[in-house]
Structure 1
Amino acid sequence: MKIWIVSSALLFSAAVFAQKTTTEIPKNWYQLDRAASGYYGISLDKAYDFIKAKKLKSKQVVVAVIDSGVDTLHEDLKSILWTNAKEIPGNGIDDDHNGYIDDVHGWNFLGGKDGRNVKEDSYEGARVYTALKAKYGDEIPADSTLTASEKNEVELYKKAKEKIVGQVNPAETAFLRQLLPGFLKGDSVIKKEIGKEEYNCTDLEKFTSVDAAANRTKAFLLQLCKANSSNELSNKQIIDELQGDLRKADAADHAPEEYRKEIVQDDENDINDRFYGNKDIMAATPFHGTHCSGIIGAVRDNGKGIQGIADNVRIMMVRAVPDGDEHDKDIATAIRYAVENGAQIISMSFGKEFSPEKRWVDSAVRFAESRGVLLVHAAGNDAKNVDSTDNFPSPVYLDNGQKATNWITVGASGDPQTGSITANFSNYGKKEVDVFAPGVQIYSTIPGGNNYGNASGTSMACPVVAGTAALLLEYFPTLSAKQLKYIIEKSAVAPDTEVTIPGTTDKTKLSELCVSGGLLNAYEAVKLAATIQGDRQAVNEALPKSKITKNKKG
C-alpha cells in the first residue's frame, strides 16, 4: 500500500507525481462550492442547506474503515467510534459470540493473541514470485505441459517475475541504498534535538542544527513536502517508504521476510481460519486510518479541528493494512467482519498489483453485495490506466468477469490552485474508475489526540466519497447500495474544461478518464436522492450466524 505520493521514481528523477500549490488554499477547500468560492469542492454546505430546507431527519449509519488503525483518543473522533453494544469492554470474553473477544470499536487482523502487532510487510509481487519460483524453478515451463490451473499460475509467475526481476532499476536501487543511511543519520540527530520520535515539515521549518547530516535530512524532507503539497509528511513515513522500496528490490534475490506469520499465527492458507487477531485497533500505525476516518465523520460543529462530511455516522475500524502490501485473506476477512457486525458502507484506501487469492476477496465482496453494503475503493496513486493495469482489490469477479453492483472506484481530483483538476498521481480508467473526488491537500485528523494535517492521495478521495455516501444514507435510509452508486455517479459534475491526463501534460475530457465523467458533488447527490424511491431490502438487525466453523485456533 503506497500511502504517500513519494515513490522511488519521485526520489530519483524529476518528481513526476508532484503537485505544485501556487497559492495558500482554504483547509476545507474540498468541501466548498465552486460557484460560491471558486474551488472545485463537493458543495457540502449547499447539501446541508438542502437537507435543512426539506426538514429531513437523519438515521445513524455505520461506516467501516479497513485501514492501518485509528487514534481512538482523538478529540474529533472518539465520540463517533462505532461501539459494539453487545460486548463488555476488557472482560476477556466474547460476549456477543461473534468470534472476537473485546471487539468494542472494531478489530485488528494484523495482531497476535499475545498483543503484538504487525507493522510492516512485504510486497505481494515478491510473495507471489518466491512461492511460484519454488514450484516452477527459474525457467518458465511450456504451456503444453501444464493443466488449465497451472497455466493461470504460470501467467501470474511471468507477471511477478517481470515486476521483481525485469523491472529492477539498479541505478535507482543504488541511489536508495546510498540515500537511506545518510537520511537515518540525520534523522537520529533531529529526533534528539527536537525531542520527538516523529516529526514533520512544520516542525522542521524553525529547526536549526550545526550537524551537517541533520541539515541534509531536513532539506530532503522539506523538498518532498513541497513536492507533495503537504507539510505533514513525516520522517517516519519517508523511512517506511524508502525501506519498503528497498525490500521490493531485494526480492529479486531473496525471499521476502514473513513479517505477519510469526505474530498472527493463523493458517494463512485457510480462509476458514478467520478468528485471529486482537482488539488493538490503534496499534503503532494509526496515521492513515485516522486521517481517512476524520474525512468521513469528524464531529461537526464542536468548535474543534475539522468538519467531517457526514454528521451522524459511527466509524468501525478494521485494521488489515500494514506498511507494505495487505494480504488477501486479511482483506476478505475484514470485509466479512464489517458486514457481519452492521457496517453499511466500507471505505477501502489501499491497493496492490497482485491478488493471488482473489477468489477469497470476491467471495467477501459477494457477501457484502448480498447484504446491501456499499464498498468504496481508492483507484491508486501510480498515474496509470487501470482499464489495462491491474489494481486490486477489484470489483470484477474472477469466475465470470461480471462487476459487483455495490462497488465504487475513486480517482483523486484537485483544483487549479493545487496543480490541476485531476491529481497528477491518480490512477484513472474510462471503464474501471467511477468518479473523481478531492484527494490533494486534504486537511483532516491525525494521531496525537488533537492534531490535524494535510495528506494527498486517492486514499483521501476514497473517504470523501464514502462520507458522501454515508450522508445520503443518513437522510435517505431506504436507498440500496446499488442506488447509492447510481446517485453518486449520475450526480457527478463534469468540469467545464479539459483536464490533464495524470502523469502527463496531455489534456482530455474527464469522461475519458472515468465512468461518470464527473467530479463528486454532494449537493447534486442529495437533490437526486430526494427524487428516488429507495429499494433497500430489510435486513435482520441481529448478527448473522457464521457458516464458517472455528478451527482449534479459534
Structure 2
Amino acid sequence: MLEAMTVVAIVDSGLNLKHRDITDHLWVNAKEIPSNGVDDDGNGVIDDVHGFDTFDTAGLKSSLANSGDPQGHGTHVAGIVTTLAPKAEIMPIRMLDANGNGLLSDALFGWSYALDNGAKVINNSFGIVGSATSEFSFMEEALRIGREKHGAVFIAAAGNTSNNNDVIPCTPANVPGMISVGATSWTGDVASFSNYGRKSVDLFAPGENILSADAFSLTNRSRKSGTSQAAPMVAAFAANVLAKKPKSKPAFVERQLFKQLESSSELANKSQTGGELADKHTKKVTHAASSRQARRLERTASSSLVNFGRFIGVVDESNGMTQQDVTDQLMCSNMRFVEEVKWPFDNIAVFFLDQSSNKVLQNEKNFRRSQRVLDTPWQLEKNIKRIKKMGLFKEVEWDAYVTQLSSEDSSFLNIEAPWNTDLIDAQPSEF
C-alpha cells in the first residue's frame, strides 16, 4: 500500500530548516511564492513556505525562515519525529522565544495556522504547571474544535516537575482530549523529572538522553532529556498510523497507540494505561543511550505567570452571537481591544491590552488593532469584570506564560556516524 504524507505541526521554538535530518521532511505551502515579500495565499503571513512565527513586528506575522530556531528546542523535537516517522512532513510554528518562553494565546494562533493548513498531528512540548485546566477553558474549546472539525490528534508533554498532574495540573497536557505523555528513564522507570498521573497522563515514552537534530549545526545530533522528547515519539507514531490510513479519526489513532504499549510494574498507577510506547517504535532515537542522565534544566512555568496583556473569551453561543459579533459590540461600547479574526475557532476571541500605548495599528490581515492605556493589573481586572457583566462570554480568562519542557544538551554527536555514542563535545549548548 502506498503511504501518504502526514503533516505534523511542531508548535515550539522554531526550526533549523537546513538541518540534514529536517530538510527533506519540510511541509511546503504550495500557494506561497518564496521570498517575494508578498502574502500570496492571503492568510496573513508573508512568505510562509514552510511555517510561521507567531511573534509579530508592527502587527505583521512573518515567515519562520526569518527566525529559524534561536532556542534550539523545536529542532530537537522535530528531529525525533522525522527519525521515527519517515512519511511525516514537519510544519514548524514558533511560539517560544529565544529563552524558551511563550504564551498560551500564541499556542492558539499556532493551532489555528496548523489546522487551517492541514496538519493532522500537533505536538506541544511546552506547559505551565499549577493552574487548574478550568482556568484555561479556551484551550479545551480550541482542542475540541481541532479534533471534531479537523480530525487532528493533539499530543503534549506531561511536564518536568516530578509531580502528580492529578493533583497539580499541567496545561496543555491536562486539557481534555489531549494525549499527555510522561517520560521514562533508560531503565524503564518513570524518569526522575517526569510528571505522572493515574487520571491525567495517558502513557509514557522514553525521555532520557534522546538523540536528535542539533539546531546549531547542519549535520550534528545532540542528546536531551525531558517529557518534551517523549511527546514527539507519540506524535511520530500517530503520523505513521495516519500515513497508512489518512482518513482516520483521532479516536482510531489513539486506539492503535494504546495497543502498542508495554506495561510494567514500575509504571502501574502512574498513568491511565500504565504503559510505555513499545521499544520498536522508539529505538532509533534511544539506541545506545548513555546511562548518564542528561543535565536537566527545570523549565516548567509556575502558575503565577499570568499575562495581563491579553485575555481570551469563549463566546456564549446560546445567544446566537459569533466572535465577530462580540468584537463589534465591544467596539461599539467604546471598549477598544485587539481582535484576531479568520481562524477555525469561531467562538473564541483573543484581545490584547497594551498598557503603554493607545496607538491604533492596521495590518495587511485587516486585524483591527486598537489599544487603550491600562496601567495596573487591578485596572485590567476591573475591565474584565465589566466585560463579564455584558453576558457575551461563557468564560473570560487571562492568558498565561508557558515554557519548553526539556533539558540542556548533554552531548553532541556526528551525524556521519549517526548512532555512534562517542562524545564529540560534552559541553552544554549556549542559548
TM-score by length of 1: 0.49
Mapping 1:370-381, distance limit 5 Å = 370=148, 371-381=150-160
- Partners in 1 of 2:369 and 2:36 — Cα distance? 20
Give the CA deviation at 1:90: 1.2
Quote the residue 1:368 is aligned against: 146
- Partners in 2 of 1:282 and 1:75 — Cα distance? 18
Question: Would the alpha carbon gap of residues 477 and 523 (structure 1) be closer, same or farther in structure 2, given more than 3 Å must change?
Answer: farther
Question: Which of residues 101, 116, 120 is equivalent to 1:344?
Answer: 120
Q: One-letter code of the match for 2:36? A: N
- Partners in 2 of 1:85 and 1:553 — Cα distance? 29
Q: One-letter code of the match for 1:458? A: T
- CA radius of gyration, larger in: 1
Question: Is contact 2:17–2:68 with CA below 8 Å preserved after alignment?
Answer: no
Question: Would the alpha carbon gap of residues 380 and 546 (structure 1) be closer, same or farther in structure 2, given more than 3 Å must change?
Answer: closer
Q: Deviations over 1:443-470 (max 9, x none)?
A: 1111211111110000000001101111
Quote the residue 1:288 is aligned against: 73
Quote the residue 1:57 is aligned against: 2
Question: Would the alpha carbon gap of residues 443 and 278 (structure 1) be closer, same or farther in structure 2, given more than 3 Å must change?
Answer: same
Mapped pair 1:409 → 2:180: yes
Quote the residue 2:277 is aligned against: 520
Question: Would the alpha carbon gap of residues 281 and 90 (structure 1) be closer, same or farther in structure 2, given more than 3 Å must change?
Answer: closer
- Partners in 2 of 1:519 and 1:449 — Cα distance? 32
Give the CA deviation at 1:281: 6.1
Quote the residue 2:36 is aligned against: 91
Quote the residue 1:431 is aligned against: 199
Q: Deviations over 1:196-223 (max 9, x none)?
A: xxxxxxxxxxxxxxxxxxxxxxxxxxxx
Mapped pair 1:446 → 2:253: no
Q: One-letter code of the match for 2:91? A: M
Give the CA deviation at 1:282: 4.0
In structure 1, the gaps of 5 or more residues are 1-55, 114-265, 267-274, 298-307, 397-402, 500-509, 526-542
- Partners in 1 of 2:95 and 2:281 — Cα distance? 34
- Partners in 2 of 1:377 and 1:281 — Cα distance? 26
Question: Which of residues 149, 165, 168 is equivalent to 1:386?
Answer: 165
Q: Deviations over 1:342-370 (max 9, x none)?
A: 10100110011247972332332122112
Question: Which of residues 217, 222, 225 is equivalent to 1:456?
Answer: 225
In structure 2, the gaps of 5 or more residues are 283-341, 350-364, 371-431
Q: One-letter code of the match for 2:88? A: V
Quote the residue 1:467 is aligned against: 236
- Partners in 1 of 2:279 and 2:247 — Cα distance? 18
Using the aligned pairs only, state the percent identity.
34
Quote the residue 1:167 is aligned against: none
- Partners in 2 of 1:358 and 1:102 — Cα distance? 32
Question: Would the alpha carbon gap of residues 392 and 545 (structure 1) be closer, same or farther in structure 2, given more than 3 Å must change?
Answer: closer
Question: Is contact 1:111–1:278 with CA below 8 Å preserved after alignment?
Answer: no
Question: Which of residues 351, 367, 371 is equivalent to 1:551?
Answer: 367
SS of equivalent residue, structure 2 residue 49 = coil
Mapping 1:292-303, distance limit 5 Å = 292-297=77-82
Q: One-letter code of the match for 1:347? A: N
Question: Would the alpha carbon gap of residues 521 and 65 (structure 1) be closer, same or farther in structure 2, given more than 3 Å must change?
Answer: same
Aligned length: 289
- Partners in 2 of 1:92 and 1:356 — Cα distance? 41
Q: Deviations over 1:477-534 (max 9, x none)?
A: 2321111112212331102xx32xxxxxxxxxx2300111111127699xxxxxxxxx
Q: Deviations over 1:25-64 (max 9, x none)?
A: xxxxxxxxxxxxxxxxxxxxxxxxxxxxxxx331110000
Q: Deviations over 1:219-248 (max 9, x none)?
A: xxxxxxxxxxxxxxxxxxxxxxxxxxxxxx
Q: One-letter code of the match for 2:181? A: V
Quote the residue 1:332 is aligned against: 108
Question: Would the alpha carbon gap of residues 357 and 449 (structure 1) be closer, same or farther in structure 2, given more than 3 Å must change?
Answer: farther
Question: Is contact 1:329–1:360 with CA below 8 Å preserved after alignment?
Answer: no
Question: Is contact 2:26–2:89 with CA below 8 Å preserved after alignment?
Answer: yes
Mapping 1:160-309, distance limit 5 Å = 276-280=61-65, 282-283=67-68, 285-297=70-82, 308-309=83-84
**Superposition RMSD on alpha carbons, in Å?**
2.6
SS of equivalent residue, structure 2 residue 223 = strand
Give the CA deviation at 1:286: 4.4
Quote the residue 2:91 is aligned against: 316
Question: Would the alpha carbon gap of residues 382 and 67 (structure 1) be closer, same or farther in structure 2, given more than 3 Å must change?
Answer: same
SS of equivalent residue, structure 1 residue 519 = strand
Quote the residue 2:54 is aligned against: 109
Question: Is contact 2:197–2:270 with CA below 8 Å preserved after alignment?
Answer: yes
SS of equivalent residue, structure 1 residue 453 = strand
Question: Is contact 1:325–1:351 with CA below 8 Å preserved after alignment?
Answer: no
- Partners in 2 of 1:312 and 1:369 — Cα distance? 21
- Partners in 2 of 1:281 and 1:471 — Cα distance? 30
Question: Would the alpha carbon gap of residues 373 and 296 (structure 1) be closer, same or farther in structure 2, given more than 3 Å must change?
Answer: same
Give the CA deviation at 1:413: 1.2
SS of equivalent residue, structure 1 residue 343 = coil
Question: Would the alpha carbon gap of residues 288 and 520 (structure 1) be closer, same or farther in structure 2, given more than 3 Å must change?
Answer: same
Question: Is contact 1:328–1:357 with CA below 8 Å preserved after alignment?
Answer: no
- Partners in 1 of 2:30 and 2:70 — Cα distance? 26
Quote the residue 1:479 is aligned against: 248
TM-score by length of 2: 0.62
Question: Is contact 1:344–1:372 with CA below 8 Å preserved after alignment?
Answer: yes
Quote the residue 1:182 is aligned against: none
SS of equivalent residue, structure 2 residue 93 = strand
SS of equivalent residue, structure 2 residue 127 = coil
Moved over 3 A (4+): 275-284, 354-357, 522-525, 543-550
Q: Deviations over 1:316-339 (max 9, x none)?
A: 000002325421210111111111
SS of equivalent residue, structure 1 residue 351 = strand
Q: One-letter code of the match for 2:92? A: M
Question: Is contact 1:281–1:318 with CA below 8 Å preserved after alignment?
Answer: no
Question: Would the alpha carbon gap of residues 553 and 90 (structure 1) be closer, same or farther in structure 2, given more than 3 Å must change?
Answer: farther
Q: Where is the strand percentage greater, Structure 1 or Structure 2?
A: 2
Q: One-letter code of the match for 2:93? A: V
Q: One-letter code of the match for 1:449? A: L
Mapped pair 1:358 → 2:129: no
Q: Bigger relative contact order, structure 1 or 2, given CA contacts below 8 A and separation 6+?
A: 1
Question: Is contact 1:492–1:524 with CA below 8 Å preserved after alignment?
Answer: no
Q: One-letter code of the match for 2:163? A: K
